Structure 1
Amino acid sequence: MIWAAAILLVFVSRGDSEDYCYDEPQCDPYSWGDSFPLCHPLLELRHSPIDLDRRHMSRDPSLGPLHLEGFDQTQTGHWTLENDGHSVVLQVGSGMAVSGGGLPDTYHTVQLHFHWGGPATNGSEHTVDGRRYPMEMHIVNMKSIHPNMSAALDDPTGLAVLGFLVDVVYADNVHFGHISQKLSSVAHKGQRTKVKPFPLLGLLPTRNMSQYYRYHGSLTTPPCSQAVVWTVYQVPVYISWSQLAQFTSQIFSTEEDAEQVTPLHNNFRHVHPASGRAVTASGDAGVLLGTAAPPLGGATALLRLLPTATLGAITFRL
C-alpha cells in the first residue's frame, strides 16, 4: 500500500511533464492556473510557499519535536531515485512515519525531493525574512487514515511536509553523499536508479529538530492542492559547494536523446502571501522582536538569530 501511495504521490503532486514547467512563459508557475485551477492565486488563499517573516510570528510553546519513526533505521529492500523532469525524487517505500509536534494524526513517509536554483542563483521555495537559501528539501508524508492519495488531497491536513532549507559550506556532507553520488545516474528526465536504504535521520539537523515553523498551505507543484501541514525547520542542512553544483550543472529537465538538452534550474514556485494565515514558531524556534536588522547572509545570520544553546551544535555540523 505504501509503495503504491509513493508512486501515486509523485504522479499527483508533480503532474504531467508536458503540463507545467519552470522556465517557459506558457507553462511556468505564473501560468499553472491555466491548466490546474487550484494553482490560480486568485481562487484560493492557502498557497505555498510563503515568506517566513519572523517579525510577525507567534510562538506556540506546545509545539515540541516531531516523532520520526524509523528515521534512525536502515529500511529493508531498496529505494528508487528518479529524475521526473521537475526534480530529483527519492521514493523511500514503507517503514517510516511522522507524528506529534502538533500534527493531527500519524503520517506515513513516502518520498523526498529537492528544489534548487542555478549556478549563480538560490533556489529554496520558502524564504526566511526575505532570504532565499540555495536549496530546499521536502520530505512528504501522507496521513495514515487515508486509503490513497486522492483521499489525502481532499483533506486540508492530508499531507505533512517537512521542509529543510539547505545551505552550503566547503566540506562534503557524508550522509548527503548517499544521494549526490547517484545523481549522475539520473541526469536526464525519466532516468532512475536504485539506492541502498540509509537512515534518513543522517540528512537532518538532528541537534535542532525542536526549532521549526508551522503553517497550513498547499503543494508547491500542480495540482497545488491545499492539503498540506507545513513544518519548515529553522536550522539548515549543510552540504558542500560541489554537492550543490551536481544539482545545478548535472541535472536536466529533458530526456537524454532530446534535440536540445536543457539544464534543470530554478525549479521553485514563487512566494505567495500568507493571506492572514497563522504562522507559528515552535517553543524553541527563534523569532524576531521589533524592527528587523538588515539581512545578513550565510552562517553569520544564522548564528546571530539562534539561541546561544544551539551554537555548539552548528559548530559541530560545520
Structure 2
Amino acid sequence: MQHLILPVLLASLWTLCTGSADWCYQSQFTCDHECNTPDKWNHANSDCSGKQQSPINVVTRKTLPDERLTPFKFNNYDHIFRGTIKNNGHSVQVNVPHLATISGGGLPDTYKAVQFHLHWGTDGGPGSEHTIDGEQYPMELHIVHMRQEFSDLTTALSDAEGVAVLGFFYEKSKSANRKYDSMISALKSITAADANTSLSSISLAQLIPPEHNMTSFYRYKGSLTTPGCTESVIWTLFEKPIPLSHDQLKTFSDLKFKDGKRMVSTFRPVQPLNGRQVYRSGGAVILASSALLVAAITMAMGLSQPN
C-alpha cells in the first residue's frame, strides 16, 4: 500500500499543474498559476486544434510567386489620432479609428483597421510568432483589419475571409527609432495588467516601413494566434523589418501578466502547414537563391577575364 502513495501523490500534483480553463503562454506556467499552455489551447477552445492554424514557419524556397500579390494601397494610414494603449494581460493593444484601410495586395476586398498589438521575447531576445526559414525575430507587430462591411471583429470572424492581418518583424538597431518614442514612453505607465493610458498623437504609417519598402511580402491563409484561434485570417508578412534599439525592445519585457510575472515570450509556437501553400509577391526575394545567383555571376565574370 505504501508503494502506491508516491505515484498517487505525483499524479495528483500533475493534475493540479495542468488543469485550468484559462489560456496562457509557456512563460506564465507554474504550479501556482494553473493555465493551459499553447500545446493545450484546444482545451480552452477546440478551434485551436484546427488544420489552418497560425503562426507558421515560412520556408522561402517552397513559396510560390503570385502575380496577384500587387503592392498594397494604404488609405488614411497617415491619419494622426489619439488612442489608448492597454496592457490586456497578454500583450499591449491599441484600438484605432476605423478610418485607415488597405486594399490591393491580392486581397478580395477593402479592409479597415481595427487594432494593433505586439508579440515579443525576453529582453529583446527571439520573440516573433512567425519565423522565416527558422529565424525568429525579436518582436512582431500585428495590425488587424476587418472587411469594411462589418462593424465589429466578432462578426467579421464568422466570414472565412473576414479578417486581414498585416505582420511586421522587428530587428535590433544600434540607434533608437524615434517614431516609437511615444509608445515606448507609454509602456512605463501600463506595467500592471488591465492598466491603460493615453497615447499621444500617433499614426499607423509612422509605425511601419515606408510604402515603397512594402512591396515584398508573403501570403497564406491562417488563424488568430490566440484563443479562440478562429481560422478566418488572410495573413500578410512583410520582409522589410522595423528597426528598434535593444533598450526599446527590452522595455516591453517590463510589463506584467495578470499574475504579476514579467510579460515575456508572448508568442505561440509555429504550427503545421497541413498542406497549405505560402505565396510570395513579385517583389519578395528569396535570399538564398539571390546569393547563389550573385555567386554564379561573379564566378562567370572571373572566368571570362583574360589572363
> Cα RMSD between the aligned structures?
2.1
In structure 2, the residue matched to 1:135 is 139
- State TM-score, norm by structure 1: 0.79
Cα distance between partner residues in 2 of 1:117 and 1:236: 16
Bigger mean CA offset, 96-105 vs 58-67: 58-67
State whether residues 281 and 287 of structure 1, in contact with CA within 8 Å, keep that contact through their aligned partners in structure 2. no
Q: What are the Cα deviations for residues 204-247 of structure 1, in whole angstroms up to 9, with x where unaligned?
A: 11131111100000000010000100000001011111100101
Asked if 1:106 corresponds to 2:110, the answer is yes
Letter in 1 for 2:72: L
CA shift for structure 1 position 61: 2.5
Equivalent of residue 210 in structure 1, options 211, 215, 220: 215
1:118 is the counterpart of 2:127: no
Cα distance in 1, alignment partners of residues 237 and 78 from structure 2: 20
After superposition, the Cα gap between the structure-2 partners of 1:141 and 1:120, relative to the gap in structure 1 and judged at 3 Å, is closer
Are 1:72 and 2:81 matched, yes or no? no
1:38 corresponds to:
47
Give 3-state SS (helix, strand or coil) of 1:177's partner.
Answer: helix
The structure that has the greater radius of gyration is: 2
TM-fit CA distance, 1:93: 2.0
C-alpha distance in 1, partners of 2:272/2:155? 27
Residue 63 (structure 2) pairs with residue 57 (structure 1): yes
1:240 counterpart = 2:245: yes
Aligned to 2:277: 278
Question: 1:145 and 1:94, CA in 2 relative to 1: closer, same or farther beyond 3 A?
Answer: closer
Shift of 1:72: 1.7
For residues 291 and 69 of structure 1, the distance between their equivalents in structure 2, rounded to whole angstroms, comes to: 33
Partner letter of residue 22 of structure 2?
Answer: D
Q: CA deviation at 1:290?
A: 6.4
Q: Which runs of 5+ in 1 are unaligned?
A: 1-16, 294-303, 305-318
CA distance in 1, matches of 2:217, 2:235: 10
Is the CA contact (8 Å cut-off) linking 1:54 and 1:129 kept in structure 2?
yes
**Contact 2:21-2:44 within 8 A present in 1 as well:** no
Q: Counterpart of 2:117 in 1: which secondary structure?
A: strand
Unpaired runs of 5+ residues, structure 2, are 1-19, 295-307
Number of aligned residue pairs: 267
SS at the partner of 1:151? Answer: helix
Q: Could you say if the C-alpha distance between residues 38 and 291 of structure 1 is closer, same or farther in structure 2, counting changes exceeding 3 Å? A: farther
TM-score, normalising length: structure 2: 0.82
- Select between 18-27 and 268-277 the one with higher mean Cα deviation: 18-27
Letter in 2 for 1:177: D
Amino acid at match of 2:37: D
Partner of 2:90: 86
Residue identity opposite 2:168 in structure 1: F
Instruction: Give, as a single letter, the amino acid of the residue that structure 1 aligns with 2:249.
Output: L
| Distance in 2 separating the partners of 1:203 and 1:139 | 10
Distance in 1 separating the partners of 2:90 and 2:291? 35
CA distance in 2, matches of 1:45, 1:220: 13
CA–CA separation in structure 2 for the residues paired with 1:150 and 1:132: 30
- Within the alignment, does 1:194 sit opposite 2:198 as a pair? yes
1:178 aligns to 2:177 (yes or no):
no
Change in CA separation of 1:18 and 1:275 when aligned onto 2, cut-off 3 Å:
closer
Q: CA deviation at 1:84?
A: 0.5
| Residue 148 of structure 1, CA deviation | 2.8
Kept in 2: contact 1:55–1:292 (CA 8 A): no
Structure 1 residue 288, shift from structure 2 partner: 5.2
Q: 1:18 to 1:245 in 2, by over 3 A?
A: farther
Decide which of 218, 225, 230 is 1:225's aligned counterpart: 230
Do the aligned residues in 2 keep the contact of 1:124 with 1:136 (CA within 8 Å)?
A: yes
Contact residue 68 and residue 97 of structure 1 kept, 8 A:
yes
- 1:19–1:35: 8 Å Cα contact kept in structure 2? yes
